Structure 1
Amino acid sequence: MAVVALLVGGGLGYALHPELNPSDKITVPPAFYKVIGTYNSIKANYYKPISSTKLANGAINGMMESLDDKFSTYLQNEDKKNLDDTMSASFGGIGATIEQNGTKLTVQSVQPTSPAKKAGLRAGDQLIAVNGKSVEKKSVTEAVAKIRGKIGTSVKVTIRRDSSDQTVTMTRARITQATVTSALNQTDKSVGVITVATFSEPTAGQFENAVKKLRKEGAKKFVVDLRGNGGGELNTALKMASMGLKNGKTIVKVQDRAGKTQVYKAGKGYDEGFKITEPIAVLIDGDSASASEILAAAWNQSAGVPLIGSQSYGKGTVQNVAQLGDNAEVKLTIAKWLTPNGSWINHKGLTPTIKADYPAWAKIAGFATANMKLGDESTDVKSLQTSLAALGYDVGTVNGYFGPTVQTAVQKFQQDNGLPVTGQTNDATLTKLITLLSAKLQNDDTAMVAAVKQLDK
């Protein structure tokens, strides 16, 4: 049995309270006599045989639900595997990143030496089928779930390239996810931008490597982008926070139900002597939670690092994961954490030093429908209107209705970009639209612009 300390559902950490091990022998309280009596009654008298495992799982689920805590859950089989994969930032797969491009699923990138690379997959290939079953109408998440599987097993993937379909068979290998990406800011090459997607086992090492790489490229200051980062491993957050703080500075305080508080402070035990001495700015938004908030609050309150963006999520609790054999585990809230100044941000979040947010059009995830025409009315049409308006086209009122004004805007867009002028959308039109919006975001990311400006002071 193992117990792991969590900050959010998708992360992991090290045991804060190993006494929570579910294998410990405890006395059954009288209140549970009714549970045992009910179990015995069902097993003896129910009109058809029923599995003891099913009854036990139902009892555990009922107990977890009675806590009314969405972060305390009972995970079995695939749900447990998904959490474990997230905890380790590794899984059985082929090493190809899939993205939604208009209404198509396409290969965004291929990892070197991966099964996908060896099989000849390339960026831009359209994903058609997995193991002979079409995924053309599936979401990215659904398609990826079909590609992933047990390490050493085979998977057949059909891709379309230059109007020709081909199927390749690959053996799934252990794939380690890149949880950190980095690049120099396009408008100010002295600023290194580090985007942290989650706090998993390899994240702290990837973060350190990103800092070193950007330093070699000329970075003199850093923007750490935590937007959309739901958190993860406590120990990873401690390591990364320590890198940006002087030794002895408080990172976080963890308080158990008895009110006993453990204070975590920066030091070589966490960062192994690696420090970021350059100026830092941190980007946060409403999806920055838990471990992200620990890092942001630590740097802000213990080092004066500015927070830029919008109010963070506000998750101030810590979870432990207790393994229940190979196929099940319990994730249970066991403590709350406080910022260095003693604040509990649960359901409140962190308030940014400078408020700035993504424009509305940047939050459009994609389109479920490729073909939109005059008279259609849907959320996709509303997204189309928002996107075209962001690029300077007149769409009238953004109301989700494909009227004559929208048709004219689509025709003008198609004409401006060398596409067949039909006044209706298709894959090519939406792909070009998303490409232009992605490029536009590089210049219109107001939070990033504000961060760079702050660092240049």
Structure 2
Amino acid sequence: MQNKQIPFHRYIISLICVAVISGGGVYIANNSGVTLASEEEDELQKVHTLYRTLQEDYYQKVDKDTLIEGALKGMTEALNDPYTTYLGKEEAEQLSNSLADSFEGIGATLTLVDNLPEVAQAPVKDSPAEKAGLKVHDKILKVDGKETIGQTLNEVVQSIRGEKGTQVTLTIQRADKTFDVEITRGKIPIASLIAEMDENQPTIGKIQIASFNESTARELQEAIEKLRKEGAQSFIIDLRQNPGGYLSQVEAMASMFLEDGQTIVQFETDDQIVGSSKASSDLDGGFKVTEPVAVLVDGGSASASEIFAAALKESANVPVIGTKTFGKGTVQAVNGFGDQSELKMTVQKWLTPSGEWINEKGLKPTIEVDFPEYAYLPPLPKNETLKKGMTSEDVENLNTFLHVLAYQTEGNTFNDATEQAVKDFQSSNKLKETGEVDAETAVVIELKITDQLRKSDQMYEKAVEVLTKESKQ
């Protein structure tokens, strides 16, 4: 199960979030600096010698900062631990932004379509982007006069972000019009969860948690209080594709669902238990959730998400529903060097309340429910037009998607049936009826598939079934 790709509807969510959130893990807040002791110099004599030799004798001029950065990265890479790494200034800033509860920018989420950044969804309410009139599918051709084509999504995002009060000029293409928009950057809150009542079950509140950032525990308490007022008598906590975040936040959140004294997580170094975290009013402020709860997980639920799910499963007997989780059982601390670069380093293992280390194994759900097979298919190509006569894996995926949408297509060949299905689809969705699948048609097909997956979310439906049965007992 862990070898499967990201479920398609979650791919859409992940793709959109990349402009705001990246990375994952369990992190301990740590502001201490890193220094090199003088007694280590003898051990590093070979490193110093190599550094001087490259500077003095290499046939071209060598940038000293490049050598130093390479040496630092090399030391962390030598540990063969993907979660221990040296972060340069830009990478450190990205990690900090990914765990923050706000950022400074314009409030638009982007994706890449045909190698151009495009507004992926409606701008954040009351954000500079909304006030400037940016709309979904607006293409950003230039940022402050610099062309964006060929840049990575992250490069474009970093150039648009900036300090509150500063200005950025975007060259926008909307349909057949091109124009400049000058936007004054502002502070944009990052909501780490979405809470709403179930459409069909008036007593079930659902909360989707995207990450464990600086304010997620507070957001969770506020969400539960709000849903209670709306009639919620039970809750579904959706942690699918949640990559993790701050340890302090997941401890506070898990504590809300446990009785004081119950174990949330244990910590181990050198195969010795060195500590544990237990539910208490010090963590949750006395706020408790005593209503029935179900937790949703999948192969993208990692680290802090796994701590939360394991704590509720093992200490509170809460049903965990979905597929086996990612399997990241380590804790990282972040230490600054003083020049805005950082060392992200693994400092502990974490174990479930029962003492299990799930690293590279994942947490097994109480009730296993998977996505339909088509949910794991890759997205349709955006840099190639699929047309009649073609035979490929992409065409097979297209035929599968169309079949899911009730069109009579199958196989890996773009035949007459595929062409007619595409024309019918384009007609019903107000697209130009070409019978070919270009980037625009591909995006609309994917959005319809996403809607279909949301309407037939078997994991969520199982959680509703479990809570409904429990309420009748």
Q: Do both proteins adopt the same fold according to a TM-score greater than 0.5, normalized to the shorter chain?
A: yes
Q: Among 76, 86, 92, which residue is 2:98 paired with?
A: 86
Contact 2:132/2:181 (CA < 8 Å) preserved in 1?
yes
Matches within 5 A, 1:265-414: 265-363=278-376, 364-365=378-379, 367-369=381-383, 371-378=385-392, 380-397=394-411, 399=412, 401-414=413-426
User: 8 Å contact 1:257–1:334 — kept in the other structure?
Assistant: no
Q: How far is 1:256 from its partner?
A: 2.0
235 and 405 in structure 1: CA distance in 2 versus 1, 3 angstrom threshold: same
Amino acid corresponding to residue 80 of structure 1 in structure 2: A
Is it true that 1:127 corresponds to 2:129 in the alignment? no
Tell me whether 1:449 sits opposite 2:442 in the alignment: no
- What pairs up with 1:44-443 in 2 under 5 angstroms? 44-98=56-110, 105-122=118-135, 124=136, 126-131=138-143, 132-133=145-146, 135=148, 143-160=156-173, 163-257=176-270, 259-363=272-376, 364-365=378-379, 367-369=381-383, 371-378=385-392, 380-397=394-411, 399=412, 401-417=413-429, 419-426=431-438, 429-443=441-455
Which stretch of the first structure deviates more once superposed, 435-444 or 342-351? 435-444
Distance 2:217 2:171 in 1: 36
Question: SS of the counterpart of 2:122?
Answer: strand
Aligned length: 445
Mark the runs of 5 or more structure 2 residues left unpaired by the alignment. Answer: 1-21
Partner of 1:37: 49
Q: Structure 2: how far apart are the matches of 1:158 and 1:43?
A: 43
Conservation of the 8 A alpha-carbon contact between 1:11 and 1:86: no
Instruction: Give how far 1:417 is off.
Output: 4.7
SS in 2 for 1:374: coil
Tell me the TM-score normalised to structure 1 length: 0.88
Contact 1:104 1:427 in 2 (8 A): no
SS of 1:264's equivalent in the other structure is strand
Shift of 1:444: 0.9
Whether the aligned pair in 1 keeps the contact of 2:117 and 2:148 (CA below 8 Å) is no
Over aligned residue pairs, what C-alpha RMSD do you find?
A: 2.9
Tell whether the 8 Å contact from 2:266 to 2:277 is kept in structure 1 after alignment.
Answer: yes
C-alpha displacement of 1:195: 0.8
**Greater displacement, 68-77 / 257-266:** 257-266
Q: CA 1:34 to 1:406, structure 2 compared with 1: closer, same or farther past 3 Å?
A: same
* Alignment partners' CA distance in 1, 2:454 and 2:396: 23
Contact 1:157 1:169 in 2 (8 A): yes
Deviates more, 1:78-87 or 1:360-369: 360-369
Tell me if the contact between 2:27 and 2:331 (Cα under 8 Å) persists in the aligned partners: no
Aligned AA for 1:234?
L
Deviates more, 1:422-431 or 1:342-351: 422-431
Task: State the secondary structure of the residue aligned to 1:402.
Answer: coil
Task: Give the SS at the match of 1:301.
Answer: helix
- State the alpha-carbon separation in 2 of the partners of residues 78 and 379 from structure 1: 38
Change (3 A) 1:108 1:35: same
| CA offset digits 1:361-391 (Å, max 9, x no partner) | 3345464147321123455434322211111
Describe the shift of the 1:418–1:166 C-alpha distance in structure 2 as closer, same or farther (beyond 3 A): closer
Letter in 2 for 1:197: A
Which moves more between the two structures, 145-154 or 276-285?
145-154
Aligned to 1:4: none
Instruction: Say if 1:101 and 1:366, in contact at 8 Å, map to a contact too.
Output: no
Say whether the 8 Å CA contact 1:99–1:108 is kept in structure 2: no
1:63 match: secondary structure: helix
Q: Kindly indicate whether the alpha-carbon contact (under 8 Å) linking 2:379 and 2:446 is maintained by their aligned counterparts in 1.
A: no
Conserved in 1, the CA contact under 8 Å of 2:26 and 2:304? no
Q: Is the 8 A contact 1:12 1:87 kept in 2?
A: no
Please say if residues 113 and 382 of structure 2, whose CA atoms lie closer than 8 Å, have aligned partners that are also in contact: no
Deviates more, 1:141-150 or 1:83-92: 141-150
TM (normalized to structure 2)?
A: 0.85
Once residues 186 and 26 of structure 2 are traced to their aligned partners in structure 1, the CA distance between those partners, rounded to angstroms, is 22
Q: Following the alignment from structure 1 to structure 2, what is the Cα–Cα distance between the partners of residues 166 and 26?
A: 58
